[in-house]
Structure 1
Amino acid sequence: MALSTTGPLHAFLAGTGRDGRGRLVADVLGFSNDRLEEVHDYIQWLFPLPTRSAAQPGAPVLTQAEIDAIRADQAAQDNLARATERMLQFYRETRWWLTGYDHNHLRITRIIHSLRILAGPDEAQRFHEAILALNDAAGSPVNARSRTYWSDAACA
């Protein structure tokens, strides 16, 4: 018998629910780098926030009940860790985001903020530091405002 989930985001991260397009978390984690770049409606499911997405206003909003449930659910935490590693792999293997302005900068802010809420400050900081190291290695092309948003999300 499947464990009960608190809401759509918890079910998705636990691996039992589907996103708004019918995909399981495993489906999204299997996307190629090109698909991760081209598709714009998965990041709100992998890294949810308690605020409405301006880019995807139809995406569900994280509730306190879901935050508590995701934090307490080992399957959801494992999938969140897999999602974090997949996105780090994406950023390590691609370079188009290493420019002054790119939509991936917003994704990075979301990932850091969501990790802080759902996995804790250490995980958020680890992702943040990895992204900064990639930016530094590329000659620091990312604008200062995006880097400030990342820092604010890591330290909020």
Structure 2
Amino acid sequence: MIVPFYLGEQPDSEGRAITEIWAWNFEELEYVHNYIQWLFPLPEPSAFNSHAPIVDEQVIQSFHSNPRLRQNLLHSFTVMLQFYGLQRQESEDGKIIISKSEDYGNRKGEWVCMFNHNYLRITRILKCLMTLGLENEAQGFYECLRQIYQEDSNQIGSKTFHYWTIAVKGNEF
């Protein structure tokens, strides 16, 4: 179900097209909770959404081999970066850099705070990017999150940062 959804050929379990979700405002992205599993699917079931898709090896290979799927995943990632007040850039040598945007000061209050559900979303995003072929974006995002954690470790917490680290580095860090 996830490949046709990502290609814009089929809606999610709630009848929403991917382009509709991409067009949501920040309030919708914050308060609707059953879309993140569709934008960033994983190989394991969601503890929060029984209708969430689960990717298998065939889906993973589809994302790795189909540039349009990866481009649409990158679009989903860009939508969430904007929500977090972050931006994606590519350096001259091709390195992906995620950094704070001009809107970071306004957006930070929505998610950099104790026990925020967006921390779980970020773990999911990192894992998904690593699984579906956008490892460079995941690494760039992690580096940005590491800097934010250094500034606000009292709000994020070491356990959360540990989950983010495992999401991009596995258990070998």
Fold-level match, TM-score > 0.5? yes
Which residue matches 1:79? 72
Greater fraction of residues in strand: 2
Structure 1 window deviating more from structure 2 (89-98 vs 110-119): it is 89-98
Aligned mates of 1:117, 1:24 — CA distance in 2: 23
Q: Which moved more, 1:32-41 or 1:70-79?
A: 70-79
Find the aligned partners of 2:110 and 2:169 in 1 and give their Cα distance.
26
Secondary structure of 1:96's partner? helix
Return the letter of the residue paired with 1:77.
R
Query: What is the number of equivalent residue pairs in this alignment?
Result: 148
- In the alignment, the residues of structure 1 paired with residue 7 and residue 149 of structure 2 have an alpha-carbon distance, to the nearest angstrom, of 32
Q: Does residue 1:103 correspond to 2:96, yes or no?
A: no
Unaligned runs of 5+ in 1: 1-7
Contact 1:25–1:79 (CA<8 Å) still a contact in 2?
no
SS across alignment from 1:22: coil
Alignment map for 1:48-127 (pairs within 5 Å):
48-92=41-85, 93=103, 94=107, 95-127=109-141
- Answer yes or no: is 1:39 the counterpart of 2:32: yes
After superposition, give the CA deviation of every residue in 1:135-154 in whole Å (9 maximum; x if it has no partner). 445x3320110110001001
In the TM superposition, residue 130 of structure 1 has moved relative to its aligned partner by 2.6
Identity %: 34
Which TM-score applies when normalising by structure 1?
Answer: 0.88
- Structure possessing the higher relative contact order (Cα contacts under 8 Å, 6 or more residues apart): 1
SS of corresponding position for 1:66: helix
Distance 1:100 1:144 in 2: 11
Q: Does 1:12 align with 2:24?
A: no
Give the TM-score, by structure 2 length. 0.80
Q: What amino acid sits opposite 2:40 in the alignment? A: F
Q: Which moved more, 1:71-80 or 1:142-151?
A: 71-80
Distance 1:71 1:149 in 2: 24
